[in-house]
Amino acid sequence: MHRPLSIALSLLLLASVAVPVHAVEPLDTFSIKLGGYASRFDTQLSVDGGNLEGTEIDLDRDLNLDQDSTIGLVGISWRPFEHHEFGLNYYQDDVSATKVLQRDIVFDGVTYETDTTVRAERNLDTYEAYYVWWAASHENWALGPRLGLVWYNLDFGIDLTVDANGNPVGSGAGFDRDANGDVPAPAIGGGWRWTPADDWRISADLGYFSADISDVDANVTYARAGVEWFPWDNWGFWVDVTANRIDADLKKDDFRGNFDFREEGVRVGVAYRF
């Protein structure tokens, strides 16, 4: 079991002895969330090298790097002033696999031929930061513009292990080629909170951004909707549905190519708030 999920279960036990609930407000002063994320990552990428243009690789279809994962998540929010809120979420997903190639693949200047066996690995660290100015803040609802940034740290490697004739190659100690890069995905939109009943809260965030900045040319969409239930004053449960998309052309020193990434899933956990 992932460590964040173990912590979430521990907090759940603590919640069972918490005090009775008071009416939940649309906005918290501070909150921390721990939980699990049943996610689906759909990734296509290409990495150029030398004079060769990289092949667009579907990580699931071409390299057997599974799309579906269940991972841990931690998040915090802080509203130091009445109308200003900041937040940060973090989660990580690592996957590796071995696959016999069904077509030629060019990655970072190296051609991996059909019928060769390769080992591939993808490590992804994700940081979600946001700021909301709650321009409209009322007794049971709040609405305001939102500036969000999802920062992906991607590490992808591929290694030839068996050639097309069935002969083992390589030492297995590392990767023939790898690419590592930070991919920022900003989004400008809005946030909404609503408390339809004393111990329930509904929330939604939307965002979009398109720009060519420095070494990243990207189109970004972000969407999240959630429900929270607080049977106790400070403790409760939450569930979110999320969908993110980034299509970026990268011109970094260690990652020149394209990164087309879709992320969607359901997050469930326990929350502490005041």
Alpha carbon distances (Å) from 66 to 39, 59, 124: 11, 8, 13
* Residue 178: per-residue pLDDT: 86
Q: Is residue 134 a contact partner of residue 85, using CB atoms and an 8 Å limit?
A: yes
List of residues 6+ apart from 175 with CB closer than 8 A: 119, 121, 157, 158, 159
Q: Is residue 219 a contact partner of residue 244, using CB atoms and an 8 Å limit?
A: no
- Residues 139 and 143: their CA atoms lie apart, in Å, by 12
132 pLDDT more than 50 = yes
Residue position matching structure tokens 């969330």: 33
* Residue 19: per-residue pLDDT: 44
* Residue 49: per-residue pLDDT: 85
**What is the reported pTM?**
0.85
* Residue 10: per-residue pLDDT: 52
- Residues 161 and 29: their CA atoms lie apart, in Å, by 53
Q: Is residue 120 a contact partner of residue 153, using CB atoms and an 8 Å limit?
A: no
* Residue that wins the pLDDT comparison between 41 and 223: 223
Reading the block at residue 204, the tokens are 């939604």
15 pLDDT more than 60 = no
Confidence bin at 52 (pLDDT 50/70/90): confident
Other CB atoms within 10 A of residue 237 CB: 18
Confidence bin at 160 (pLDDT 50/70/90): very high
- In degrees and rounded to multiples of 5, residue 181 shows phi and psi of -160, 155
Of 6-10, 36-40, 179-183, give the range with the top mean pLDDT: 36-40
152 pLDDT more than 60 = yes
Give CA torsion, residues 14, 17, 18, 20, to 10 deg.
150
- Residues 140 and 192: their CA atoms lie apart, in Å, by 11
pLDDT digit string (tens) for 65-89?
Answer: 978 889 999 999 999 999 999 999 9
3-273: CATH superfamily: OMPT-like (2.40.128.90)
13 pLDDT more than 70 = no
61 pLDDT more than 80 = yes
User: Of the given ranges (18-22, 71-75, 223-227, 265-269), which has the lowest mean pLDDT?
Assistant: 18-22
* Residue 213: per-residue pLDDT: 79
Length of the chain: 274
* Residue 59: per-residue pLDDT: 93
